[in-house]
Amino acid sequence: MSKNKKKFFYVNRELSWMDFNFRVLEESTDKRHPMMERVKFLGITASNLDEFFMVRVANIISKMEKKPNKKDASRLKPGKLFKILTEKIHMFSKNQQDCWKKLLVPELEKEKIKFLNWNQLDAKQKAFLENYFKKTILPILTPMAIDPGRPFPFITGRSLNIAIELKSFKGEKIFGIVNVPSAIPRYIEIPCKSERCFVLLEKIMKNQISNLFELYDIKSTCLFRVTRNSDFEINEEAESILTEVQKSIKKRRRGDVVRLEIEKKNSNSRIKKFLTKMFKVEKDDIYKIKGIIDLTVLLKFVHENWDPKIKFIPQIATNAPAAFCDCKNVFEAINEKDHLVVHPFESFDAVINFVQQAANDPDVLAIKQTLYRVSGNSPIITALMRAAENGKQVTAFVELKARFDEENNILWAQKLEKSGCHVVYGIPGLKTHCKVILVVRREQDSIKRYLHFGTGNYNDTTAKFYTDVGFFTCKNEFGIDASALFNSLTGYSWNSEYQKLIVSPFETRNFFEKMIDKEIENTKAGLSSKIIIKVNAIVDKKIINKLYEASNAGVEIKMIVRGICCLVPRVKNMSKNIQVISIVGRLLEHSRIFYFENNGSPLVFMGSTDLMPRNLDRRIEVIFPIEDEELKKRSIEMLSILLHDTVNARIQNKKAEYKRIPNEGKEIIDSQMEFFKIARNLVSEKS
């Protein structure tokens, strides 16, 4: 293997993730999108990057300290990776600000939407903001001087703050800090004649800062923000997982600083030196921002009352008969046949309705459900609590270790317990990531089990913009498997023999290897073979090597990988027969679908797992087969449409670079909009 091939044998996962965030940033530069949607994409890149620093960058810094010489799967030592990564992030940060100032601000101004600085305001506008400061802002501010009697305060991660260099009338020089409060809007709309004008909260505060330090001269001010390490492990041997998770949340708030953002325009060298010392950061950890610090503010801004023409045309999820959203007896509908519901094209109400009817049905005896991430006002949780109050046996497996949703999950778990549900908090050493609902119902002289398996979370909010698939069935083999799974989750035994389901951490890796091996055997025997995989990420080195083996054997492999892809396609003698595309559009691609040609008798599976070591080895995941021929045909059609997308897709080349698919002379296919059309057609066909 040549030097070039070795270099790209396995792409580092963090560098691949940054490539993904660059693809999201590209969406904010795409003039085909409405103005405010481009602004939203920019906000998403900032939110993505925050979490990346809190977990992945923090993890690399930890490895630099504890295992500096250990190479990762991409053959990079932590120090080398950190250097490459930070260079990439600094460039990305500059691109974000360039996108805002050079592309989006001028476009917003064309729509008569302006962000103004203090020196751009007229007398009337200044008076308005001075009054707003005195009445609304000033009462909640806490100026903090820093001197021998008043130590440097604790600065919360991701909060905005203003550092002030002060000089007393006696010539004493000290520093001060003022937090930019999050309790009031970050952007303030001001009176304008024919435009909508806004001023950022920190700009108002900086102009009025002398009101807070009247005994001192203000020498300079500098806006800053820190990001803290939030990657803390749970002590799995502790007596209570709940208690340990609560402890880890407290630790997260006080994690080490892994990024310091300061405004470039006013980065006074003395303030910068002072902040660098206080936060114990190195040069590479400091990001000088020439623009808006914390672009996540744009995610709120886009939800203001704007002209519809500068936003995407709303696409309404259908209540298709196939989704039985309005079905009066969902159990009769499932008895009739299996159902696939494709979100958000078909409404998530189908899932909510399933749980709600189960809660109210006098013949339902028990409901068991896994919960990984749920919304803040979840109708599913409400239905489960009502079911318990109605005397049904309700078991909720709430994964408390769902990162950044721990507090929300603790709250729901405690409410479920109070209503009479049996709540299981997690399994030591494993995260429960599978999406399963089991309803046990009394019917005539027998007991029947009704099931929902999903590729995404039971979250009615994210279901509006995550693409996922739900599968409903009451087939006995699936019911037996689901009962065995829940018994394993709540008890001390582990069932590793399932009739239909493939369950991590014991079976999934072996399953994929066997399925890939079968396609290799078929192609060597002159039989038809093909593999299509749709996942959010592929990281696992063993699975990647197995796919390389299949490619070398002649198996055609097509992959739809939204985010991290450590595999490199189209390399001679390694991955020549592998194609990788990434789809980034107005909806977040989240479903996991697996297709194996099987010599003309295709096998289709869906599930909750990505091809990452954590999903295969350290999580409870479920993959389920789609056996009904009609549903299988629909699943294959979905994959075909995704593979032919010419709007949202980018193709990965042998240098691990992503390029938009040329659509000149090709039919314009936006896969996500196609799925809305298909859902609407299902309604018209069956109405």
For residue range 363-398, what is the model confidence (pLDDT) as tens digits? 999 999 999 989 888 999 999 999 999 999 999 998
Q: Measure the CA dihedral 299/305/310/312, to 10°.
A: 70
**Lowest-confidence segment of 24-33, 217-226, 251-260, 632-641 by average pLDDT:** 251-260
Position 188 pLDDT exceeds 70: yes
In contact, 490 and 393? CB cutoff 8 Å: no
Span 130-154, average pLDDT = 93
Question: What's the pTM?
Answer: 0.94
β-partners of residue 589 are 467
Report the share of the chain in percent with pLDDT over 70.
96
Per-residue model confidence (pLDDT) at position 7: 46
For tokens 């240098």, name the residue: 655
Residues 6+ apart with CB under 8 A from 143: 176, 177, 178, 212, 213
- The residue among 319 and 75 whose pLDDT is bigger is 75
Per-residue model confidence (pLDDT) at position 472: 97
Per-residue model confidence (pLDDT) at position 687: 53
Per-residue model confidence (pLDDT) at position 158: 95
Of 202, 179, 194, 195, nearest to 129 by C-alpha is: 202
Span 128-143, average pLDDT = 96
Helix (H, G, I), strand (E, B) or coil at 598: coil
Q: Which pair of structure tokens corresponds to residue 473? A: 């069935």
Sequence letter at residue 632: K
Q: What burial class does residue 601 get, using C-beta atoms within 10 Å of its C-beta: 0-12 exposed, 13-18 middle, 19+ buried?
A: exposed
Per-residue model confidence (pLDDT) at position 343: 96
Per-residue model confidence (pLDDT) at position 328: 78
Span 432-436, average pLDDT = 95
Per-residue model confidence (pLDDT) at position 267: 66
Q: Which pair of structure tokens corresponds to residue 289? A: 């921002």
Per-residue model confidence (pLDDT) at position 54: 95
Per-residue model confidence (pLDDT) at position 666: 80
Reported for 74-80, long-range contacts at CB under 8 A and 24+ positions apart, including other chains, are 74/10, 74/11, 74/12, 74/13, 74/15, 74/566, 75/10, 76/12
CA distance linking residue 675 with residue 681, whole number of Å: 10
Mean per-residue pLDDT of the chain: 92
Q: Could you tell me the pLDDT band of residue 326, with boundaries at 50, 70 and 90?
A: low
Positions marked active-site:
433
Position 577 pLDDT exceeds 60: yes
- The residue among 214 and 36 whose pLDDT is bigger is 36
pLDDT in tens, 9-20: 899 999 999 999
Position 239 pLDDT exceeds 60: no
In contact, 616 and 609? CB cutoff 8 Å: yes
β-partners of residue 625 are 605
Per-residue model confidence (pLDDT) at position 321: 63
Position 152 pLDDT exceeds 80: yes
Per-residue model confidence (pLDDT) at position 1: 37
Position 63 pLDDT exceeds 80: yes
Sequential DSSP letters for 260-321:
EEEESTT--HHHHHHHHHHHT--GGGEEEESS-S-TTHHHHHTTSS--GGGSPPP-PPB--G
**Lowest-confidence segment of 113-122, 267-276, 453-462 by average pLDDT:** 267-276
Position 340 pLDDT exceeds 80: yes
Q: Which pair of structure tokens corresponds to residue 467? A: 């693409």
Span 538-559, average pLDDT = 97
Position 3 pLDDT exceeds 50: no
Position 117 pLDDT exceeds 50: yes
- The residue among 89 and 401 whose pLDDT is bigger is 89
Q: Which domains does the chain have, with CATH numbers?
A: 3-310 (3.30.1840.10), 321-500 (3.30.870.10), 503-686 (3.30.870.10)
Of 279, 283, 273, 281, nearest to 254 by C-alpha is: 279
Strands (DSSP E) contained in 426-564 are 431-432, 436-443, 446-454, 466-473, 502-503, 530-535, 556-561
Position 630 pLDDT exceeds 60: yes
Report the share of the chain in percent with pLDDT over 90.
80
Per-residue model confidence (pLDDT) at position 75: 92
Q: Which pair of structure tokens corresponds to residue 362? A: 């006098």
Sequential DSSP letters for 59-103:
HHHHHHHH-TT---TTS--HHHHHHHHHHHHHHHHHHHHHIIIII
For tokens 């929902």, name the residue: 452
Phi, psi angles (nearest 5°) of residue 359 = -65, -35
Position 516 pLDDT exceeds 90: yes
Span 106-121, average pLDDT = 96
CA distance linking residue 345 with residue 358, whole number of Å: 24
User: Whole-angstrom distance between the N-terminal and C-terminal Cα of the chain?
Assistant: 59
Span 217-240, average pLDDT = 82
CA distance linking residue 572 with residue 548, whole number of Å: 10
